[in-house]
């Protein structure tokens, strides 16, 4: 199941990273760079939903796909956050909080799987909400202009990325509290 349609779509999120970063080094005017990076992020982020849908629809689910999907999401989000911090469109504290949480929870999930307690840290609605807010905030901050002449995406993106940081901490606390009884039971 290494080269199914859903898995290839997941790989495209990883391939998208140098494209999104490279846009900001291209000899384009700033507004065009912002628009191209935003469109690329939205298109590749949409593959997250589409690859899962197709995997179920085409009966092409696999352990490898289940592993690669969240890794690709984290790479795309973390790389985009680093670009936004570099461009001074996102606060470094927000970037560190979100990226640090992703590393910590990934390590926690790996450890919980190793001790046979992965169900205790299964994806929860708070994690999904955090991801949704991030996935709206990031293209707003990449665009960094007025949308339809009305919406200041820089302002909205800033509010949303801070909300994502709060949800990030909240979800991390939730997962840690869920894992703590299992950890205590294995340590004894």
Q: pLDDT class for 27, splitting at 50, 70, 90?
A: very high
**Is the pLDDT higher at 21 or at 65?**
21
Q: pLDDT class for 146, splitting at 50, 70, 90?
A: very high
pLDDT of residue 7 exceeding 80, the answer is: yes
Alpha-carbon distance of 9 to 61, in angstroms, equals 13
Alpha-carbon distance of 109 to 125, in angstroms, equals 16
pLDDT of residue 101 exceeding 90, the answer is: yes
What confidence score (pLDDT) does residue 116 get? 78
Radius of gyration, CA atoms only, the chain: 18
**Is the pLDDT higher at 48 or at 19?**
19
What confidence score (pLDDT) does residue 1 get? 59
């Amino acid at each position: 199941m290494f080269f199914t349609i859903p898995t290839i779509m997941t790989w495209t999120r990883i391939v998208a990273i140098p494209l999104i970063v490279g846009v900001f080094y291209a000899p384009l005017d700033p507004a065009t760079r912002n628009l191209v990076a935003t469109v690329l992020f939205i298109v590749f982020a949409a593959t997250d939903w589409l690859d899962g849908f197709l995997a179920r629809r085409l009966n092409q689910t696999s352990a490898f796909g289940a592993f690669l999907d969240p890794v690709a999401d984290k790479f795309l989000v973390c790389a985009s956050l680093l670009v936004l911090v570099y461009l001074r469109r996102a606060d470094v504290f927000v970037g560190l909080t979100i990226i640090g949480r992703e590393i910590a929870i990934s390590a926690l999930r790996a450890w919980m799987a190793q001790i046979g307690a992965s169900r205790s840290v299964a994806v929860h609605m708070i994690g999904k909400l955090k991801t949704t807010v991030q996935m709206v905030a990031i293209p707003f901050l990449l665009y960094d202009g007025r949308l339809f002449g009305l919406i200041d995406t820089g302002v909205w993106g800033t509010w949303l990325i801070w909300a994502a940081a709060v949800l990030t901490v909240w979800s991390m606390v939730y997962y840690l509290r869920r894992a703590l009884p299992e950890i205590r039971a294995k340590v004894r």
